[in-house]
Amino acid sequence: MDPWPSPEIRRRLDLALDSHRHWTGRDLVPGLALSGDDARYQTLWSMPRVLVSHGIQEDPVFWFGNSAALTLWELDWDSFTRTPSRYTAEAPLRDERARLLDQVTRHGFIDDYAGIRISRTGKRFRIRQAVVWNLRDERGDHAGQAASFTDWEFLT
């Protein structure tokens, strides 16, 4: 099931794209249609670039992971969108992850994140050159964080 037909997911994806442009000065996907049509969301869902985002709960839970993210973390949509984002890092690395998210909260984004993550089945992988940015809602208030990357490798 593709989640993008949901009006709420579409709204949040638009916020993620607009926020990325606000913080970085560039489009996440160059040439992507600016209006909310099916092709725009299908591109985000099916692109090989990983795209994930979580909300602003005390223990933030993912609200989106595209097909590449679900494959990498070995989760289906329902499982992924019930997962607190901290669980994608091994327990000893969660403090490092928390420091990263604090830095993003203070500065708006970073575009050179590297770190180790873990899939549902325990496969470890290193992410490189990830962009992590704050989401801003229509009023400019903090609405979560998103990350995107194309560079990862599985570790033995």
Q: What is the CATH number of the domain that holds 67?
A: 3.30.450.20
- pLDDT tens-place values along the chain, 156 residues long: 567 678 999 999 999 999 999 999 999 998 886 656 788 899 999 999 999 999 999 999 999 999 999 999 999 999 999 999 989 887 656 677 677 777 887 889 999 888 889 999 999 999 999 999 999 999 999 999 999 999 999 997
CA count, 13 A, side-chain hemisphere, 8: 3
- pLDDT tens digits, one per residue of 5-28: 789 999 999 999 999 999 999 999
Number of domains in the chain: 1
In a domain, 1, yes or no: no
Does residue 20 form part of some domain? yes
CA 27 vs CA 22, 85, 141: distances in Å? 9, 24, 20
In a domain, 24, yes or no: yes
In a domain, 2, yes or no: no
Question: Residue 37: what pLDDT?
Answer: 78
Does 89 fall in a domain?
yes
Q: Which domain holds residue 27?
A: 7-154
Distance between CA atoms of residues 129 and 147, nearest Å = 10
Q: Does some domain include residue 122?
A: yes
